[in-house]
Structure 1
Amino acid sequence: MIALPGEEVSQERNNKTIRQQSHGEKTMQIISPDETNTEGNDNNGDQQQNNPDTTQDLRESTTATSEKPYTSFSLPQKWFVVGMATAASFFSPLSGQIYYPVLPILAENYHLSQTLLNISVTTYMIFQGLTPSFMGTFSDASGRRPGYILAFIIYTAANIGLAEQNSYAALLVLRCLQSAGSSGTVSFGYGVIADVTTTAERGTYMGPMAAGVMMGPALGPVIGGLLSQFLGWRSVFWFLVIISGSYLVIFTLFQPESHRGIVGDGSILPSESWRLSVLQYIRIRRKQARMSVEEKQEYDEARKELRIQQKNRKLAFPNPLLSFVILLEPDALMLILYIALMFFGATIMMTSLPSLFPGIYGLNELEVGLCFLPLGVSSALGAVANGKLLDWNYRRLAVKHGMSIDSKHGDDLTNFPIEKARIQMPLFWASLLAATFLGYGWALDYKTSLAVPLVISFILGFSLICTMNSLNTLLTDIFPSRVSTASAASNLVRCLLGAVGAAVVDSMIDAMGIGWCFTFTGLVMGAAVMFLWCEYKWGMQWRQKRWRKKAEKVEAV
């Protein structure tokens, strides 16, 4: 039959016992439930329990395992979907960093103090943390396409306003809108990847996504410096208008809806035509034309079941409290606390670079922007390499635990230590990351050759992205039905701590000196590895307990 929203057994089954063929022998497996049958149900948990149609659907969808692949998207189509999500994730960090070269010009034009301009930076980061709590839950409830389209309409409009504004008040308000429009795209992206990839292959696809997030901070200062120096500060925002508007048009025409609660495995036409891209409509219609009578009947049944599930889940008002609820889960809390502290350290490094390098090495704004490139290049390389390593380690542990891997249909993670598979390598990368902060700080303090801090920043970027990519992948694995919401919770805490880092870095350097400032940061990062160790040791127990409780609730309905 056609794959339904919870078809990957590691994601959506309700902890029922089913029979499967495994190497010719019948075996019994407990299938992981996660939270509910489809992603959007978190927003309507009470409605779902009181809806007999939905409850019946939950029960019936667990009676057998589909022989169909987890997704109907071909390999090129999957890479296109992930590539569009990666490109979208580039805008939020790009908008934050491209703004820095404009600050001195704005201070002169508006006769503002550096403190007032820093408020526009801090408020951007605060909204960058808060907005995904709304947008992430909106995406999980209402679909990926509506979320992206709404986000880019807001973002493009804000950039037009920024290019035309002439007052500090307008600058402050429009920067907040700019942040609100772009910041949700990162959490959307992790949801998209969960829609189209199984656990066994997820690391490979997460790599480019993480690279997109890190390339923004690396390229932003370079682009901003070039544009403001040769075309004026308004050209920075017009540049963002052009690329975001172009992306919005391409996305609207070609990016398919991937939400499994709306299009199943990607082969089902949604009820509302506006949810479809042009290519998706053509692809599904062509596939329908080739269906046999039996396949057509199965398709109609699957579409009917999806419509029943969507009955109480139309376009929903975002519920930001769901992101806070995820923080109450101990395994999520351990991961998110480490990610936030890691981002705190990265923000201190990137925020201080534009002020430290000119004084130590006599660089101009463009040369300072180029100093971000080692960080960006290493992040891109690390993201791709670590994605492959994550999948390799997953396969290695699967063989060790006697679990057969099914990259097409998905794997049962209930009794598999996915936490160890994802955290074994980050334990090393996180330790290396803490050490590089110490070396970076003292290299600047002793005014060594410029090559030394640049090489260290290359290592720092590689370690940072490998750690972040692994932990975000694990968040996707343990909250498969709430991927965007879990990512939003992570984004909330890390951006708030990043805002703290941006606010205190100058005071820390003045009070402690460069070397001791980064030594303190490195020690904090080293101590934070304890959170990863706790997740490594007890994470599987926490996850199993949560899945079991949710399955019992569904059984009781």
Structure 2
Amino acid sequence: MYIKVIILIVVSIVTLAAPFVGNAFLPAFTIMLNTLHASKTDVNMTSTVFLLALGACPMWHAYFSERYGRRPVYIFTTIIFVISSVALARATDIGVVIGLRFLQAVGSSTAQSVGAGTLSDIFYPHQRGRAFGVYYVCPNLGPLLAPIFGGLLVQWRGWHAIAWFLALYGVAMWIMLFILLPETSVALKARQAARTLPSPTTTPPRSEKKWYTRLGEETFNHCLRPLQSLQYLAFPPIGLTTLYISICFSCTFAYSTNIPYEYAAAPYYFSQISIGLVFIAGCLGQIMGSVTSGKLSDMLVIRSKAQLGDAYRPEVRLKVSWLGVPFVPVGLLLYGWTIETNQFWFIPLIGIFLFCIGLQLANSPIIAYYSEAVPGKSASIVAVHNLCRMFAGALVSAVTPTAIASIGTGWFMTILAGFTALGALALEAVRRWGGRWREEREEREREREMVQAQERGQEKKS
């Protein structure tokens, strides 16, 4: 068991990288405007590009991890992260900075999808809720620690110091992965075991494919096949839960991109370090929600299996998700209207705290649910989940300044709160009918396997 705990700790620390890198530069935006001689739109683009890459790249990470193993993907992408961070520390052009931020996302986003696959490899279903609860503590620490470290480093040595710090962090992370993380992929181990079996008496015919045919197939496999993971969105339990979390998660970028401007202006006039400390409220809410949801999720699973036996349904986890549903719109409304009316600085942060508790109460059980809804494909499904929520976050991040300037913070947060409330209907649909949808899918899979087996039998006879 202690090996599982070590792996859980290592993967959780690696998962911290992406949210930390994504938030570390927020306090440096005003400094980057001057040193890079760039516009506010250009500086904001560094975050938008990072979010888009953070959403897309885990699909390829998940595919490569299921084909070549978890460990090589972790180690190789961490090298990309270190190199891009060193180059960013020496960059002086905004275009170069945007490109390197893309590469930072490529290198730091591995655990966003592969982490879930790693935990599913080593933990039994009744242990996964608590494991995922612990797993999400570190990524929730990212938005807490990053603005604080970023603000301190900017005031000490400028924004380049953030990049140097991230490079050192990447080196430490690579050493930890190399020493402590074994290969966990169940699929890879099964393929390796199959290759060690005695060869059959009849050898299969040698492939007659030309080199350029094989090259084309490998290019397709490495470049386009990961996109086939998007097909999971057509499966209602995956598509509907992803829709709800994407709506809620996108609201995170609405308030996080708004906070620096609101608290730097009247009546608050916060410094850069003080603005970084403001983000503590949301991070504490996410940590509390993540740990609580993990424990409650496992308790419900154990109780349900004891009561129902073979009639157990994984959708029982979504009861915990429903505990967080009311907190999300309430938190957004409280933040939006207290900021709009210039209330005491602490009151809007209560809204952020409530929102983040609700978000994590909803999200953690859903991630654990994926490993049971489609067994063996959790890494690819979480990658698709991550893609949708990051793209939603990038969209909301892009429209937030214009929307707030047009209708105000209060009404904009009210609109977002309405979307989260409507999105909860998708979550309820999965809780009610998810079991039936899974059974229908499993029946289709069995029928397809039977047809394929019959076709192979006919080929052998001919």
TM > 0.5 fold call: yes
In structure 1, the partner of 2:457 is: none
Aligned residue identity for 1:394:
V
1:225 to 137, 151, 157: 151
Is contact 2:66-2:188 (8 Å) kept?
no
Match for residue 91 of structure 1 among 9, 17, 29: 17
Question: One-letter code of the match for 1:174?
Answer: L
2:196 corresponds to = 304
Question: Partner residue of 2:80?
Answer: 154
Rounded Cα–Cα distance in structure 2 between residues aligned with 1:183 and 1:95 = 10
What's the CA shift for 1:199? Answer: 0.9
- Structure 1 counterpart of 2:293: 386
1:417 aligns with 2:313: yes
How does 1:402-551 map onto structure 2 within 5 Å?
Answer: 403=309, 415-419=311-315, 421-551=316-446
Counterpart residue identity of residue 288, structure 2: L
Deviations 1:455-485 (A, max 9, x none): 2222222211111111111112212211111
Q: What is the CA distance between 1:256 and its match in structure 2?
A: 0.6
User: What is the root-mean-square deviation in Å for CA atoms of aligned residues?
Assistant: 2.1
Q: Which residue of 2 aligns with 1:369?
A: 276
Counterpart among 29, 53, 59 of residue 103 in structure 1: 29
Structure 1 residue aligned with 2:250, among 341, 344, 349?
344
Aligned pairs for 1:170-181 (under 5 A) are: 170-181=96-107
Residue 192 (1) aligns with residue 84 (2): no
How many residues of Structure 1 are paired with residues of Structure 2 in the alignment?
Answer: 433
Query: What is the alpha-carbon distance in structure 2 between the residues aligned to residue 346 and residue 220 of structure 1?
Result: 15
1:262 Cα deviation after fit: 2.7
Conserved? CA contact 1:431–1:529, under 8 Å: no
Q: Using the alignment, how far apart are the partners of 1:428 and 1:90 within structure 2? A: 26
Cα displacement string for residues 81-108 of structure 1 (whole angstroms, at most 9, x for unaligned residues): 1111111111111111101122222210
Answer yes or no: is the 8 Å Cα contact 1:186–1:213 preserved in 2. Answer: no
Distance 1:307 1:255 in 2: 32
Inter-partner Cα distance in structure 2 for 1:344 and 1:307: 53
Q: Which residue of 1 aligns with 2:261?
A: 355
What secondary structure is seen at the aligned counterpart in 2 of 1:257? coil
Change over 3 Å in CA distance of 1:220–1:555 after alignment to 2: same
Shift of 1:212: 2.0
Structure 2 gap segments, 5+ residues each:
201-206, 208-217, 454-462
1:327 and 2:233 equivalent? Answer: yes
Partner of 1:209: 135
Map Cα deviations across residues 491-535 of structure 1 (whole Å, 9 max, x no partner): 111111100111011111111111111111111111110110111
Going from structure 1 to structure 2, the CA distance change for 1:476 and 1:424 (only over 3 Å counts) comes to: same
Cα distance in 1, alignment partners of residues 164 and 197 from structure 2: 46
Contact 1:133–1:485 (CA under 8 A) maintained in structure 2? yes
In the TM superposition, what whole-angstrom CA distance separates every residue of 1:338-368 from its partner, at most 9, and x where no partner exists?
A: 1110111111111111111222411111001
- TM-superposed CA distance for 1:237, in Å, is 0.6
Instruction: Judge conservation of contact 1:88–1:186 (CA < 8 Å) in 2.
Output: no
Residue type at the aligned position of 1:369: G
CA distance in 2, matches of 1:448, 1:355: 15
Give the Cα separation in 1 of the matches to 2:365 and 2:426. 14
The 1:115/1:302 distance shift into structure 2, 3 A limit, reads closer
Can you give the 5+ residue segments of structure 1 that lack an aligned partner in the other structure? 1-74, 265-269, 272-300, 404-411
Contact 1:85 1:188 in 2 (8 A): no
- Identical counterparts, % of pairs: 25
Contact 1:336 1:490 in 2 (8 A): yes
1:317 is matched with which residue?
222
Matches of 2:127 and 2:248 in 1, distance apart? 26
Aligned-residue offset at 1:555: 3.4
**In 2: Cα distance, 1:190 partner to 1:164 partner:** 34
Mark the CA change 1:78 to 1:344 in structure 2 (over 3 Å): closer, same or farther.
same
Kept after mapping to 1: 8 A contact 2:22/2:50: yes
1:139 aligns with 2:65: yes
Aligned 8 A contact 2:324 2:360 in 1: no
Deviation at 1:320, TM superposition (A): 2.3
Write the letter of the residue equivalent to 2:196. K
Which amino acid is the alignment partner of residue 180 of structure 2?
Answer: F
SS in 1 for 2:296: helix
TM-fit CA distance, 1:302: 7.6
Q: 1:152–1:181: 8 Å Cα contact kept in structure 2?
A: yes
The residue identity in structure 2 corresponding to 1:417 is R
CA contact (8 A) 2:7 2:180 kept: no
- Which structure has the highest helix share of the two? 2
**2 CA distance for matches of 1:462 and 1:109?**
37
Q: Is the Cα–Cα contact under 8 Å of residues 151 and 185 in structure 1 kept in the other structure?
A: no
Shift of 1:225: 0.5
Equivalent AA in structure 1 for residue 234 of structure 2: L
Q: Which of 1 and 2 has higher RCO (CA within 8 Å, sep 6+)?
A: 1
Deviation by residue 1:165-197 (Cα, 9 ceiling, x = unmatched): 121221111111111111232101000010011
* Equivalent pair of 2:333/2:351 in contact (CA under 8 Å): no
Question: Structure 1 residues 80, 342: closer, same or farther in 2, change over 3 A?
Answer: same
Bigger Cα displacement from structure 2, 524-533 vs 209-218: 209-218
Measure how far apart 1:306 and its partner are: 12
Alpha-carbon distance in 1 for matches of 2:257, 2:36: 22
Cα 1:149–1:449 change in 2 (3 A) is: same
Distance 1:480 1:369 in 2: 40
User: How far off its partner does 1:398 sit?
Assistant: 2.0
